[in-house]
Amino acid sequence: MSDIRRDDNRDFIRMEMDVEVSFKHARSNHLFSGRCIDLSHTGLQFETSEPVSEGEILSVTIDLGNDKFQPMKAVLDVKRVEITDSGQYRAAGQLRDIQ
């Protein structure tokens, strides 16, 4: 399920989402998982129990939750990380090399 939201400080619409995201750290073959919170033309925000740091480069795959669409793959340059009240890592960053 998604919800489209316009943020006056951004050039692109942000879609709120609740779909699975999987990711790998740049120098690792180990696959981790999380939940996509929102997605825009140039960015992604997600939550995970796996530690993520600002400045990291992640390979991400977003399952859009619909069999009509292939999962989206991209590189994410992590720009911001917060720890939530529940101890999850909330990471946001810039998407590039979208496939």
Q: Phi and psi for 56 in degrees, rounded to 5?
A: -70, 155
Residue (of 77, 97, 96, 93) closest to 37 by Cα position: 93
Please, what are the domains in the chain? 2-96 (2.40.10.220)
pLDDT band at residue 2, thresholds of 50, 70 and 90? very low
**83: β partners:** 89
User: What is the DSSP annotation of 24-39?
Assistant: EETT----EEEEEEEE
Q: Phi and psi for 64 in degrees, rounded to 5?
A: -75, 0
Say whether pLDDT at 3 is over 70: no
pLDDT tens per residue, range 10-19: 556 778 889 9
Q: What is the pLDDT of residue 81?
A: 98
pLDDT above 90 as % of the chain:
65
pLDDT tens per residue, range 41-73: 889 999 999 999 999 999 999 988 888 988 999
User: What's the pTM?
Assistant: 0.82
How wide is the angle at C-alpha 41 spanned by C-alphas 47 and 74, nearest 5°?
60
